[in-house]
Structure 1
């Protein structure tokens, strides 16, 4: 019998999973269910045997998708005993600054944060509900906001009156699990940089930057929600708050319509009118595609300079995430705009949020009283 951890990253129509051996955190299986609620599909690989699974599913919700994942694990495991399910939760608010074992009370407090991450939090929590099928394995929540919890007030405060600040309107920051993994890799493989001043660019369909000084997050580009900062795949990034009131009052757009416009029809998708996929845009001859990519490179460079100001210097820029790792023309365009700065090192480090979550899950279980 082998003890294992199941790591879940649940989205609106997808459920990504990895299975890690508990002792050495070796990866045993990985896969995803996509198209939940429509044309669902399960793709997975069993690492030891190389067995590959790819077939359609009847998965109309996250619960049935989770059932398919558990059935798959039961079919291909080699005496695995699930000791915990570790979940990525986008928003932990001000209270959750470390991974926690989920209780009904904690679940209720996380549900109260749904308005701060409407595209992510409901589905992250749906993953917890679906994992009730594994009744003997506790649920562990890891938070994207937690890595930024130590920011000084100068970096997490909005210039608004105290009465509003007291209601939790402040900067939190996201992609923290990814940034924590990069900080860990730097400490292991580049200790000189780990002690220095590093801008990390988590560039994917969701995108942000982190100012990492001596291994700690000092500043980041996202704010109270995962909408702020850089333009993203379909999210606007930073926008004049007055534009929002204009949409609501003068254009008479319903709140839901404004939210959909900013979260689902903006960013690269909105700028190009073509796609939110960078490969598609790079392959396109349409000048709108080039403009969208130029805009992204400009904003990443501008915000990178801002992160350097927050740290008082720049020793390295680390690219990670789907775009950061794979889109060399985008990286080159960003670095070209930063060429006026004193020389700094450039690294590409693959994201591995799942392993970071497994590390947290194991540490939390081992810290529990006997």
Structure 2
């Protein structure tokens, strides 16, 4: 059937640990046998905290062009386990995702609660999910397998990786300007409320710093990142084996906050207090070390891509990280970096990029697989 067919609309819902982001899209078909084009209509972000139905109401009120009756609703799910790509949400997938909730306690329960609320609010709509873990389905075997007993591995204790929608979006942004990133080694550093670094070879993920849960890898504003396992054993013995209390501390009182009392990089950078400066130094050193480690696993580095609230907005953090990696041939153009340009290298070595990611767009794109 030829001609323009319009009318379908899509709502992408991105539940974070403290916010709910939403974006609406129109699906435009020039041919019903072809994949539709996505046309963004509006987007908004609100603070989480309200009960789910009220949260959806507040989001719809915040959207300039709300989808009061969306034909399609797509939800970001942090942990998909072994599920990959976009999926229409059904009872079996819901049960599988519920079982993974303990592995992503800040995000998974909240996202699934909102998904259930959306299902009740719009029962005639088609509902789907996309996973942050999907981008890392291509991890190298030496990255996927953890050095643990075989029976633990059989239980699914392995590296999954996270921030996949953000990494996919960052890759899409750079490809639009320089498609050579799809050929050869690149390292992505997503630095925000959660932080992780990813090694990409020929356009696919091969290694990443986060592992079984979003708690591992590099330190973040409030998350500890990797620790000697003995630290956990020691602290569990010290606090009488209270796993929940230990988990809360690692997620909410670790990382930069554990050193300086809070994890707001905007406040830490100009703060002359020794604890603030130590937090910034530790953060930039650990990120630089992880970038070098990721490059080692994929035999080089042709591009370095920064994203996330810190990675994209904090020029000084980027400068401090790159300064520790000059031996890899990395060199910033200081003026471009300070001006917030997209490409910020000095054109004498690997490309260095600073990009804003659009996870909602990636969610919408994922729905085209099953619509």
What TM-score does the superposition give when structure 2 sets the normalisation length?
0.87
Structure 1 residue aligned with 2:76: 88
Native 8 Å contact 2:60 2:68 kept in 1: no
Gap regions ≥5 residues in structure 2? 1-5, 29-36, 330-348
What secondary structure sits across from 1:364 in the alignment?
Answer: coil
Q: Deviation of residue 289 (structure 1)?
A: 1.1
Q: Deviation of residue 26 (structure 1)?
A: 2.6
Gap regions ≥5 residues in structure 1? 37-59, 366-370
Within a 5 Å distance, the mapping from 1:297-312 to structure 2 comes to 297-312=284-299
2:239 is aligned with 1:239: no
Aligned residue pairs, count: 338
Q: 1:31 to 1:251 in 2, by over 3 A?
A: same
2:170 is aligned with 1:165: no
Q: 1:116 to 1:5 in 2, by over 3 A?
A: same
Structure 1 residue aligned with 2:101: 114
What secondary structure sits across from 1:26 in the alignment?
Answer: strand
Native 8 Å contact 2:190 2:308 kept in 1: yes
2:268 is aligned with 1:255: no
Structure 2 residue aligned with 1:64: 54
What TM-score does the superposition give when structure 1 sets the normalisation length?
0.87
Q: Deviation of residue 79 (structure 1)?
A: 8.6
Match of 2:366 among 344, 360, 367: 360
What secondary structure sits across from 1:354 in the alignment?
Answer: helix
CA distance in 1, matches of 2:309, 2:18: 19
What secondary structure sits across from 2:369 in the alignment?
Answer: helix
Native 8 Å contact 2:84 2:133 kept in 1: yes
What secondary structure sits across from 2:353 in the alignment?
Answer: strand
Q: Deviation of residue 186 (structure 1)?
A: 3.1
Structure 2 residue aligned with 1:335: 322
Match of 2:38 among 25, 32, 35: 25
Native 8 Å contact 2:174 2:353 kept in 1: no
CA distance in 1, matches of 2:67, 2:56: 20
Q: Deviation of residue 266 (structure 1)?
A: 0.6
Structure 1 residue aligned with 2:10: 5
CA distance in 1, matches of 2:281, 2:243: 30
Say what the alpha-carbon RMSD is for the aligned residues.
1.8
What secondary structure sits across from 1:363 in the alignment?
Answer: coil
2:261 is aligned with 1:270: no
